[in-house]
Amino acid sequence: MGEAIVITSGKGGVGKTTTSANVGTALALQGKKVCLVDTDIGLRNLDVVMGLENRIIYDLVDVLEGRCKIHQALVKDKRFEDLLYLLPAAQTSDKTAVTPEQMKVLIDELKQDYDYVIIDCPAGIEHGYRNAVAGADKAIVVTTPEVSAVRDADRIIGLLEKEENVESPRLIINRIRNQMMKNGDMLDVDEIATHLSIDLIGIVADDDEVIRASNHGEPIALNPNSKASIAYRNIARRILGESIPLQPLEDDNPGVFSKLKKFFGVK
């Protein structure tokens, strides 16, 4: 019996789908059997980020309305040997086509076969959010270092705390721009973590590679050289229960002098 983790944020555009794709990929890289579930019915795009769009035959609404079996709708990711699957959302229906009770049954069924079920939640706190949370055991809240995103994260944490089936949520701070944070133009990591007062499970730097990779349908987590990729892999390992310290935020291009200093171990 696996566990279901919902990835949510309240605010749109903070990177829920990217995070879902990469955390799922990173967990599969660790040898876990993972199923990604896109619950953003009507505005699906987890399939695009994963590069699986053209393999979709059936979707989540087809499964719930009995037009097909679950295994027929699941799209297998060829890059992994039988480890990573995606259950795509419907593009033609809307969020009211699904009820939270139906979602709970579906997720419980998926948990039988997979180690991790990663649920990508739509933005907002209405019907779509309730569908996504209904079957979840754990929650990860994604935010960016912006006041508006943190405000919405706070709201969503409050709502998640009321859900009896969900354990206390954990936090990912996404799109960190080190230089702005240093200058004090952006909320810093500690400030956000104390403000929201939930466990921080990872921080991800703002990296152009992430967008490039998403556009190619290749989750960044597959590329071992990128900083964002390492961040996602670390998050996956923390989900598995390892304790790994947070990556220090460094500039992308350290000068020769500071490289030398690092080399000699001078602080």
Partner 1 sequence: MKKFQNVTIKGTKDGLTLHLDDSCSFVELKEELDRKLSESSQSREDRLISVHVQVGNRYLTAEQEEEVKDLVRQKKNLVVDSISSNVMTKDEAEKIKKENEIVPVARIVRSGQILQVPGDLLLVGDVNPGGTVIAGGNIYIMGALKGIAHAGFNGDKEAIVTASIMKPSQIRISDCITRAPDHYQEDEKREMECAYINDLDQITVDRLQVLMHIRPNITRLEGGF
Question: Applying CB under 8 A, does 155 fall inside the site for partner 1?
Answer: yes
Question: Applying CB under 8 A, does 265 fall inside the site for partner 1?
Answer: no
Question: Applying CB under 8 A, does 159 fall inside the site for partner 1?
Answer: yes
Question: Applying CB under 8 A, does 157 fall inside the site for partner 1?
Answer: yes
Instruction: Give pairs for 150-153: CB < 8 Å, separation 24+.
Output: 150/187, 150/192, 150/195, 150/196, 152/9, 152/10, 152/11, 153/9, 153/10, 153/11, 153/196
Tokens 């304790």 belong to which residue? 243
Q: Taking the complex as a whole, how short is the minimal distance between the CB of residue 138 and partner 1, in angstroms?
A: 19
Q: Taking the complex as a whole, how short is the minimal distance between the CB of residue 42 and partner 1, in angstroms?
A: 25
Question: Applying CB under 8 A, does 163 fall inside the site for partner 1?
Answer: no
Q: Tell me which residues in 113-152 interact with partner 1 (CB under 8 A).
A: 151-152
Residue range at the interface with partner 1 (CB under 8 A); choices 52-60, 94-102, 107-115, 154-162: 154-162
Which lies closer to partner 1 via its Cβ, residue 49 or residue 160? Answer: 160
- Binding residues for partner 1, rule: CB under 8 A, are 151-152, 154-155, 157-159, 161, 184, 195, 197
